[in-house]
């Protein structure tokens, strides 16, 4: 069974998205910040990550960059699901790209909260097959 | 002393985004990560469930907006909107996040334009082991303190905590233009000393101030020593005379300084001071 890691500090979101993931026939795993998220990615190698941005300890922005600059993990697809505007995410990536002298690829999809369940399910199916 | 991670605690009365922005010069001192925090106090009969929900929603909307701006500048950002005892919640976030600096505000007395350091803030200042900036951004009608680290004034009582305040300021050397260093000789310390004894004490303190300023200049900080006699209200006078933008001091555990800074006389001083106060335990 394919595994989907949901990284979000909002329990309401992780509960709802976990249900959508499981209803779609995948296994849901949860982490509540970027630090926990990276630990889970390394331990469980998920097939897809649904990632929030504004979280305690480590944001989704930092986790996304860690993931996309880690050779064995960089091909794991990511859907960003966040209240942070898509525009801000891409601007932050641009600044960080310039600072690090290294650009990271765009996520597979970016959904601004509140999510439409159908949209998320469709995206997961499209990415995971 | 590094300042990589800052906890910015706001109740949306005194500290808004412009106050946070005034601290962004800390990036030159290594600031990488801002943790935003709002605490909805849990008081029986204070807020209804509906009011608490609205307060949290309002905080969330503000924080998303602030975080977007911080992210767009390449900073790392996180947020906490929690309910409970303010002091306990701040202490737990400090531990969880490992922050290097906490920024809090004064409280506004309801119905009056006067500010005061409330009992929660004092309790927190007594308990914390990391530097705290009591930020005062709005310094008067139409006036803001948007460069608090530009001309700080360090008040030293030669304690280890004062030395830590020096270390903290050294970390800000890329931001500050000039540092004023003062030592206040209290009337208590002068009691019983004859004229000669007073002169010796003055000479000794001037020597120590000179040495401290020399060591700061060796770090690349332009520093100017000043000796005052009186009580801690002289710190405020010195800050005004020297056009300081911030007062920094160590918070000594058992000395009269802490009692003065964190007890009621100091409370008064912090209340009336227009300047942000950086307290280093």
The per-residue pLDDT for range B66-82, each reduced to its tens digit, is 999 999 999 999 999 99
- ipTM of the complex as predicted: 0.91
**pLDDT over threshold 80, residue B119:** no
Tell me the nearest-neighbour CA distance from B108 into chain A, angstroms. 28
Q: B128 vs A107, which has greater pLDDT? A: A107
Domains, chain B, with CATH or none: 5-139 (3.40.50.620), 152-280 (3.40.50.620)
Q: B261 vs A67, which has greater pLDDT? A: A67
Question: What is the mean predicted confidence (pLDDT) over B196-225?
Answer: 95
Q: Which of B68, B74, B78 is closest, CB to CB, to A56?
A: B78
Q: Give chain A positions within 8 Å (CB) of B79.
A: 54, 56
Instruction: List the 53-92 stretch of A: residues with Cβ below 8 A of B.
Output: 53-59, 61-62, 83-85, 88-89, 91-92
Q: Which of B64, B73, B80 is closest, CB to CB, to A84?
A: B64
What is the extent of the structural domain holding A91? 3-128
Q: Tell me which of A25-34, A98-107, B26-35, B248-257 is least confident.
A: B248-257
Q: State the DSSP string of B174-193.
A: TT-S-EEEEEEEEHHHHTT-
| pLDDT for res B115 | 52
Residues of B contacting chain A (CB within 8 angstroms): 35, 60, 63-64, 67-69, 71-74, 76-80, 96-97
Q: B49 vs B169, which has greater pLDDT? A: B169
The per-residue pLDDT for range B168-184, each reduced to its tens digit, is 999 999 999 999 999 99
| pLDDT for res B255 | 47
pTM for the full predicted model: 0.90
Confidence of residue B265 (pLDDT cuts 50, 70, 90): very low
| pLDDT for res B120 | 72
Tell me the nearest-neighbour CA distance from A1 into chain B, angstroms. 33
**pLDDT over threshold 80, residue B272:** no
* Number of domains, chain A: 1
Structure tokens at A48: 């897809």
CATH of the domain at A55: 3.40.50.2300
């Amino acid at each position: 069974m394919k595994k989907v890691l949901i990284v979000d500090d909002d329990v309401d979101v992780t509960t709802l998205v976990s249900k959508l993931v499981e209803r779609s026939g995948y296994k849901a795993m949860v982490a509540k910040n970027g630090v926990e998220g990276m630990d889970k990615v390394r331990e469980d190698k998920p097939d897809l990550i649904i990632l929030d941005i504004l979280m305690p300890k480590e944001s989704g922005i930092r986790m996304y960059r860690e993931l996309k600059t880690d050779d064995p993990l960089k091909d794991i697809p990511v859907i960003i699901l966040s209240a942070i505007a898509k525009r801000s995410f891409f601007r932050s990536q641009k600044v960080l790209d310039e600072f690090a002298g290294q650009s990271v690829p765009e996520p597979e999809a970016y959904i601004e909260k509140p999510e439409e369940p159908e949209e998320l399910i469709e995206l997961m199916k499209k990415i995971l097959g | 002393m590094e300042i990589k991670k800052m906890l910015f605690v706001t109740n949306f009365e005194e500290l808004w985004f412009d106050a946070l922005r005034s601290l962004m010069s800390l990036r030159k001192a290594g600031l990488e990560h801002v943790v935003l925090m709002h605490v909805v106090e849990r008081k029986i009969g204070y807020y209804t469930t509906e009011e608490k929900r609205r307060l949290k929603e309002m905080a969330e909307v503000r924080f998303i907006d602030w975080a977007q701006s911080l992210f767009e500048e390449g900073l790392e950002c996180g947020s906490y909107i929690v309910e409970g005892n303010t002091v306990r919640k701040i202490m737990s976030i400090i531990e969880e996040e490992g922050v290097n600096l906490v920024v809090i505000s004064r409280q506004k007395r309801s119905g009056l334009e006067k500010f005061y350091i409330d009992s929660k803030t004092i309790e927190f200042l007594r308990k914390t082991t990391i530097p705290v900036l009591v930020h005062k951004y709005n310094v008067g009608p139409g006036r803001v303190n948007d460069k608090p680290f530009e001309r700080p004034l360090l008040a030293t009582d030669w304690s280890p905590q004062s030395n830590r305040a020096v270390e903290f300021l050294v970390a800000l050397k890329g931001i500050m233009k000039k540092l004023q260093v003062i030592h206040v000789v209290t009337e208590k310390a002068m009691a019983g000393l004859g004229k000669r004894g007073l002169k010796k004490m003055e000479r000794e303190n001037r020597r120590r101030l000179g040495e401290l300023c020399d060591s700061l200049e060796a770090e690349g900080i332009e520093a100017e020593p000043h000796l005052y006699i009186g009580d801690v209200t002289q710190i405020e006078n010195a800050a005004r005379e020297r056009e300081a933008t911030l007062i920094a001091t160590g918070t000594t555990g058992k000395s009269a300084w802490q009692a003065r800074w964190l007890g009621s006389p100091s409370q008064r001083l912090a209340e009336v001071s227009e300047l942000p106060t950086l307290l280093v335990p």
